[in-house]
Amino acid sequence: MTAGLAHALCAAALAAASSLATAATLAALPPDEALDARLRKLETQLRCLVCQNQTLADSNADLAADLRKEVRELAVSGKSDEEIRAYLVARYGDFVLYDPPLKAVTSLLWLGPFALLAGGGAIWWVVLRRRARAPAASAESEPEAVARARALLDGE
């Protein structure tokens, strides 16, 4: 083995040992409770892009884990909550927000359920009004209707 190769291997082993020691030290430090609380609150305001009906905090999807990691990295780097939300909206659109703002693009999201409810109520009202105005279904008396039904069943 040459001296240069031995020196390179020794340097690589020293670097690996140093990074392991740093990782062990970081793992032993108590977590920053304020940062964790801030991240939990922020993650409940963001939507999982895979699950769509869950917040980022509630989702078990791999993409949600990646987004949580990205949000943590942005927060640790000193970004404010608003800057983190703006970054994610710029990257993924308003859909990433669990409570998207009312804009022309998102107006159907906000107003659609109310429009469907109003339309359903109007249809229900029209049906009830038509039923109230409709005459009795048949002018036959009950015995005549029974006799007619028996005749149809007997094949006459």
Query: Which helix H or strand E contains 109, and what residues bound it?
Result: helix 107-133
CB 100 within 8 Å of CB 106: yes
Asked if the structure places residue 93 within a domain, the reply is yes
Strand partners, 46: 97
Mean pLDDT for 127-152 is 78
Do 69 and 115 belong together in one domain?
no
CATH no. for residue 67?
Answer: 1.10.8.640
Mark whether 45 and 55 lie in a shared domain: yes
Alpha-carbon distance of 46 to 83, in angstroms, equals: 13
Domain end, chosen from 83, 101, 119, is at: 101
Q: How far apart are CA 89 and CA 80, in angstroms?
A: 14
Same domain, 64 and 108: no
Range of the domain at 111: 102-133
Q: Would the pTM count as exceeding 0.75?
A: no
pLDDT, tens digit (0-9, with 9 covering 90-100), for 18-72: 555 445 544 544 567 888 888 899 988 898 888 877 888 888 888 888 999 999 9
CA–CA distance, 30 with 26 (Å, rounded to integer) = 9
| 58 and 108 inside one domain | no
In a domain, 119, yes or no: yes
Residue 150: inside a domain, yes or no? no
In terms of domains, do 49 and 80 share one?
A: yes
Whether residue 80 is found in the same domain as residue 48? yes
User: How many structural domains comprise the chain?
Assistant: 2
CA distance 129 to 125: 6
